[in-house]
Amino acid sequence: MVKPCFHVSSISSFLCFLFVTGFFVKSLVSLPFPRLDQIDILMALKNEFQILKCDYSKSKSWTRKDVKSFDGVKFDNETGVVTELVLFGACLSGSLSANSSLFRLHHLRYLDLSFNYFDSFSFLPELTKLTNLEFLDLSYMGLAGEIPTSFSSLNRLTELRLSNNELIGSFSPLYNLSKLSSLYLSDNHFSGNVPCSLLTLPLLFDLDLSQNHLTDSLETMNCSSSSKLATLDLSYNRLCGRILEPLSKLTSLKYLYLISQNTTDPINFVSLGFKSLEELDLSGTAISRLSIGSPNLGMLLLNNCSINEFPTFIKNLRNLDHLEVADNRLKGEVPKWLWSLPSLNVLSLSHNFLDSFEGSPKNILLNSSLVTLDLNSNAFRGSLPIISPRFIYMIASNNSFTGDIPLSLCNQSYLSVLDLSHNNFSGSIPWCPISSSLQYMDLRNNNLTGRLPDIFDKSGSLITLDVSHNQITGKLPRSLTNLKNIQFVNVESNRIVDTFPFWLKDLPNLKVIVLRSNMFHGPIYSPQHPLSFPQLRMVDISRNKFTGRLPHDYFVNWSKPLISIPREERGPQYVGYNYSSGYHPSMYLRNKGINMELEKILETYTEIDFSENKFEGQIPESIGLLKSLIVLNLSSNDFTGHIPSSWANLTRLESLDLSQNQLSGKIPQELATLSFLDYINVSHNKLTGQIPQGTQIGGQPKSSFEGNLNLCGPPLEEGCFGDKASSTPETQEPEPPKQEQVLNWKAAAIGYGPGVLFGLAIAQVLYLYKPVLFFKLFRL
């Protein structure tokens, strides 16, 4: 705020006036002030395209009335011209013509058109009119053909992105881009050799040529060591071992990625340079010999490289921070020198045949610098080593570890993921407070006994709790209500004796609950405890001893994700997925009559399984409100009454099992309209009438309808009376009793016999005197 100046002297007043005026003028000049001609160009550009229907379109909001509406546009503060235009995923379609308004934005320095889809690419040569371009992104646009030769005139470009297109041909139009520092050409159809002219552009720092069809040739042998290239990604090509020698001459190279080379010639990494190399990823590429002399190497990824033994050169990598040797052929002992590497923080040995640890196995990890260890899917046996208090991720699943779960886990202050599933641990779960940092605890498929400890306090951040397939007894601990972040609770296949946990409805983020195969009992409905799970998507309470009736409005307020159709996401989202560790919960379920495992649980996947209990009464009509439901299993109960016709609203339903109940009446015709319904089983009920005929129901096996004495029609062999009549089964007259049928037949025969004889006599006369009679009768 500017304070007013009050002075007696006129000179002082004049100076004060100049100061205030100068302040406001400077303030006004510094504000962004777009030029009107630039606004006109943007509005004309907006009108050139058909805007697709999508959740977010940047240009759709542009208006002359509000400069702030120009999302994705940046104006220069001093001149008011457009210098940046970011239309990433703006839903632009149609054609970008050669005379487009875009090419009138001559001051553009930054242009992003990625994730848009044009009918043709005739506009590409016209980009050279934007002579001030420094950044250009045309990724994910379906561009086809060769890189236009006109691109060679974009000599101010420092970054060019052409990834995820269908480009072919030569790289030569890019050789003159002397200021280029970053070049991304991944996921195209480039073939042939890797030219040195591209690798040695004077200022090129990052180069991504992954996912093409490149091979190496003798041209690569002449690469100059003057290159400034620091990052090179040649993954998913067809390079062989010969590529390494010329690449080793690139003395500035720090990050090299050669993942999954589609070649039968294994890479031989012996006595090569790479003195500056800090990261090397050879995963998925066969390696014959390996020895790297880079003292700065901090990350080494050798997953699925057909390695039979630990490369000994690793023990000399004093700066190695991250090592992955998963999915190889390693067997026997893990060498003790591995734990003494001073800088090693992350180690993955998963999916090998390792069974023991060299030296003293109990304390080998106690003084290690490790914070992440993955031993998944090996053959380790004996006790689990004591881990350091610094650990963040401990994954030891799918092994043969035995004994108790170590009490040392109680002292972990930073542990976030603990996965000891699929082992032979016994004893009880330690009664010690769960660390506030622990987010994922997976102890399934062991031999654990005793009660599930009441150890969950309000400071906990647990997201996943899985203790399924053990021998745990007692009740569910009420302290679970403290876990406000919990998304997944699975206690399947234990010996828990408890009533339905109505109190779980207080968990605001609970998405999956599995109580299957325990000894839960009693009703799951209580007027005092109306259920409303805010985020529930999957509930499996099958194979218990739940009883009682469910009111018709039971599911009215159950869960918003079950009632509303899910919104489409750009990519799949998974329940409880941890992006930093890659950890995600999994579960077993019965779907379409088959027991299966969901390795990842999609956020949009929904299921209700109440099967194999003792529920009775009518099926709640309110199930018809659950529009996003995919799997519904109510089999093996004592439900009575009709199948609700309101289930026609379950348009996403794929699997429906109502078998082994006491249901009566007809199968609603509306079920035949459910286009996603791949599986239906209504066997062993008291259903009647004709099976609805539709594409989905008609393709079901006969066993899906057996055990209903009065059910008829395909696929059953029993035909329905009057199948070929024009009237529907509902409008046909009821069939009279057998005795009445006999009497009616006799009465018809008495009246019918004389009529037949008289008709035959007349026919004989007509035959003998046909000409005369026909002439007299019809005047022929």
- Same structural domain, 699 and 616: yes
pLDDT confidence of residue 568: 64
Q: What is the DSSP string of 584-599?
A: ---EEEEETTEEEEES
Helices (H) and strands (E) in the chain, counts: 8, 49
Question: Is residue 537 in some structural domain?
Answer: yes
Residue 401: closest CA among 377, 417, 429? 377
Residue 730: closest CA among 658, 668, 664, 671? 668
- Same structural domain, 626 and 767: no
pLDDT exceeds 90 at position 182: yes
Q: How far apart are CA 635 and CA 618, in angstroms?
A: 13
pTM higher than 0.75 for the full model? yes
pLDDT confidence of residue 51: 58
pLDDT exceeds 90 at position 32: no
Burial class (CB in 10 A: 0-12, 13-18, 19+), 367: exposed
Express each pLDDT in 450-502 by its tens digit: 999 988 888 788 999 999 999 999 999 999 999 999 999 999 999 999 999 99
- Same structural domain, 603 and 694: yes
Q: How far apart are CA 311 and CA 300, in angstroms?
A: 11
pLDDT confidence of residue 769: 39
pLDDT exceeds 80 at position 335: yes
Q: How far apart are CA 327 and CA 302, in angstroms?
A: 9
pLDDT confidence of residue 55: 54
pLDDT confidence of residue 459: 78
Which residues lie across from 429 on neighbouring strands?
none
Least confident of 18-27, 505-514, 615-624: 18-27
Mean pLDDT of 373-400: 94
Percentage above 70 pLDDT, the chain: 84
Question: Is residue 422 in some structural domain?
Answer: no
pLDDT exceeds 80 at position 506: yes
Q: How confident is the model at residue 768 (pLDDT cuts 50, 70, 90)?
A: very low
What is the domain extent for residue 521? 482-712
- Same structural domain, 635 and 754: no
Residue type, 700: Q
Compute how many other C-beta atoms are within 10 angstroms of the C-beta atom of residue 623: 23
Q: How far apart are CA 561 and CA 605, in angstroms?
A: 10
Residue 49: closest CA among 85, 103, 101? 101
pLDDT confidence of residue 93: 79
pLDDT exceeds 80 at position 290: no
Question: Is residue 600 in some structural domain?
Answer: yes
Q: How far apart are CA 545 and CA 521, in angstroms?
A: 5
pLDDT confidence of residue 776: 34
- Same structural domain, 487 and 620: yes
Residue type, 127: L
Beta carbons of 663 and 683 less than 8 angstroms apart: no
Residue type, 751: G
Which residues lie across from 323 on neighbouring strands?
300, 347
Which residues lie across from 417 on neighbouring strands?
393, 440
> Is 672 or 443 the better-scoring residue by pLDDT?
443
Residue type, 733: E
- Same structural domain, 562 and 618: yes
> Is 238 or 231 the better-scoring residue by pLDDT?
231
Q: What H or E segment, with its residue span, contains residue 197?
A: helix 196-199
For residue 635, give the CATH number of its domain. 3.80.10.10
Least confident of 69-73, 581-585, 587-591, 654-658: 581-585
Token couple for 532: 């409303």
- Same structural domain, 653 and 511: yes
Question: Is residue 335 in some structural domain?
Answer: no
Mean pLDDT of 127-142: 94
Beta carbons of 239 and 260 less than 8 angstroms apart: no
CA angle at 164 for the pair 161 and 166, rounded to the nearest 5°: 105
Question: Is residue 51 in some structural domain?
Answer: no
pLDDT confidence of residue 750: 36
pLDDT exceeds 90 at position 398: yes
Q: How far apart are CA 233 and CA 229, in angstroms?
A: 11
pLDDT exceeds 80 at position 439: yes
- Same structural domain, 543 and 672: yes
Q: What is the mean pLDDT of the chain?
A: 83
pLDDT exceeds 60 at position 201: yes
Least confident of 105-109, 117-121, 349-353, 411-415: 117-121
In the chain, how many domains are there? 2
pLDDT confidence of residue 435: 78
- Same structural domain, 661 and 757: no
pLDDT exceeds 90 at position 7: no
pLDDT exceeds 70 at position 564: yes
